[in-house]
Amino acid sequence: MTGRVVVVGSLNMDLVMRAKRLPAPGETVLGAGDLQRFPGGKGANQAFAAASLGARVHMVGRVGNDEFADPVIASLAEVGVDTSRVIRDERAATGLGLIVVDERGQNAIVVASGANATVTVDDVTAAQAAIADSEILLLQLEIPLPAVLAAAKLARLHGVTTVLNPAPAQPLPAELLACIDVLIPNENEASVLSDVGADSDMDIARVAERLRATGVATIIVTRGSRGCSRIERDALTHHPTFAVQAVDTTAAGDAFVGGFAATLAAGAPIDTALVQANAAGALACTRLGAQSSLPDRVALDRLLDSSP
């Protein structure tokens, strides 16, 4: 079964520079190699990841009318994402991500929102038919909150499962959380949402207690090399990830979320979706860049088949 996923979110061009280490505040470090450009943005990355793993994906968002718009849209179209609902904004630039990656594969990212900041409730309303016809609505927080809320309300109206990756981290209104079926924060985002540190297993248990009070049915905290923790009803379970040699962790979280959405949309149980999400996230760490690092079905199945 091929699932249908609608992503309402951001589209960026990522400018990536490698360095021996990340600079400290006020420090300049020399880069290693040339500046590289990769299509990115959390929304687009998650759409790309889901489509690469077989989902039928519609992307809703905005780009500018500049040199970055065409390659950003073309990258999604190459993996079959329907980009007919991506608007070219004549007054704003395409979003940009400035990324520095150190020799351990860790990164620091600054984003200039550009056209992403101009996504409106009307843009979302115009995509209502696509949302209603999907199994999964996938959301992040790199576009204005009113547009995110409008999309979540439409999904709830039409009985569509809504998955929210609450990034960048920020407190969320109860009105939005009431429309979310699956919340997927990383440890930092979980800490912001719960006002509790999220570093250890004991911390995660405390986070679980706080986040359960939001009313969201399922919460999945991604924990990097430690896999993820799933909070559902009164149960807290841990799901290990796959051991890989990390080159660049950029978009690993997006690979996880996109892989989870694609698998869940296809009708798989949540345990299967988490295994495939962990595999997708791990594979994304083995290559440089955002969308360029996201695995296809062949690579994912190869990792799954080779693991005990």
Q: Which residues are catalytic?
A: 254
CB 228 within 8 A of CB 87: no
Asked if the bond preceding 168 is cis, omega within 30° of 0, the reply is yes
CB atoms within 10 A of CB 239: 18
Q: Is beta strand 12-18 parallel, antiparallel or unpaired with respect to 95-101?
A: parallel
Radius of gyration of the chain (CA): 18
Chain length of the chain = 308
- Give the amino acid at 170: Q
> Identity (one letter) of the amino acid at 171?
P
Sign (positive or negative) of CA dihedral 168, 97, 262, 58 = positive
Distance CA 192, CA 46 (A): 22
Specify the pairing of strand 235-239 against strand 228-232.
antiparallel
3-state SS assignment for residue 286: coil
**Beta bridge partners of residue 222, listed in sequence order:** 186, 228
Dist. CA 208–CA 63, nearest whole Å: 37
- Using an 8 Å Cβ cutoff, are 258 and 165 in contact? no
Structure tokens at 84: 């007919």
The span from the CA of 141 to the CA of 144, in Å, is 7
| Strand ranges for 234-301 from DSSP E | 235-239
